[in-house]
Amino acid sequence: MNTARAIALGAIVALATPAGLLAMEDLRMNGFQSWLSDHKDTSWSGKSELWVDPTGNNAEISDATLSVSDDGIVYTWVYKEVEQSGEFRWSGETLQWKDSWHQAEGVELTVVSGHGSLIAAEYSYPAGAGPDWHWRIKIAERPDGTLVLQMTNIAPWGEEARAVRTVVRVSE
């Protein structure tokens, strides 16, 4: 292949890639919205783990609940005997998240692909004078039907630290 054709092909691929990724994210969001619809009006219960230990070795464990509606998910958990709650809300392709302990003011999440879950989304936030940090949230369904809500804090240099893992099953 001559150099001019190689450059042209590279430019086409570079220009086409973002649209392709967006289409994949749209499909992923549509798939998750379909999952929400299939699980509408279900209630789940289980345990939540919150890592506040700076070494990441010890978790605070509490009871947790989760409920699914066609436009989102609401969950509860407990920290130091105080009930906390959070929610994810969808409006078209927009995903909003808030949590009474982690993020009292709602934020818009960006759906990210390639995490092997029902859905993964994140946002960035300032933490002092340095570069922004990131917060990733994943919702996954295990083969046995257990649902896992996982939150990860990501340092500017790429190190990931577990923050929350909630494991719930459909309530009987």
Domain ranges, ordered by start, for the chain: 3-170
What Rg do the C-alpha atoms of the chain give, in angstroms? 19
Where b means 16+ CB within 10 Å and e means fewer, 17-55 reads: eeeeeeeebeebbeebbebbeebeeeebebebbbbeeee
Tokens, residue 155: 């340092």
- What pLDDT is attached to residue 56? 79
- How open is the CA angle 31-35-36, to the nearest 5 degrees? 115
Tokens, residue 150: 């996982």
Phi, psi of 20 (to 5 degrees): -65, -40
Instruction: Place 17 in a pLDDT band, splitting at 50, 70 and 90.
Output: very low
- What pLDDT is attached to residue 29? 61
- What pLDDT is attached to residue 55? 82
What's the whole-number average pLDDT of the chain?
Answer: 83
CATH fold of 3-170 = Lipocalin (2.40.128)
Residues 78-87 have pLDDT tens digits of 999 999 999 9
Give the 3-state DSSP-derived string for 101-150, with helices as H, strands as E and coil as C.
Answer: CCEEEEEEEEEECCCCCCEEEEEEECCCCCCCEEEEEEEEECCCCCEEEE
Residues 109-150 have pLDDT tens digits of 999 988 889 999 999 999 888 999 999 999 999 999 999 999
Where b means 16+ CB within 10 Å and e means fewer, 99-131 reads: beebeeeeeebebbeebebbbbbbbeeeeeeee
CA–CA gap between residue 57 and residue 148 (Å, rounded)? 19
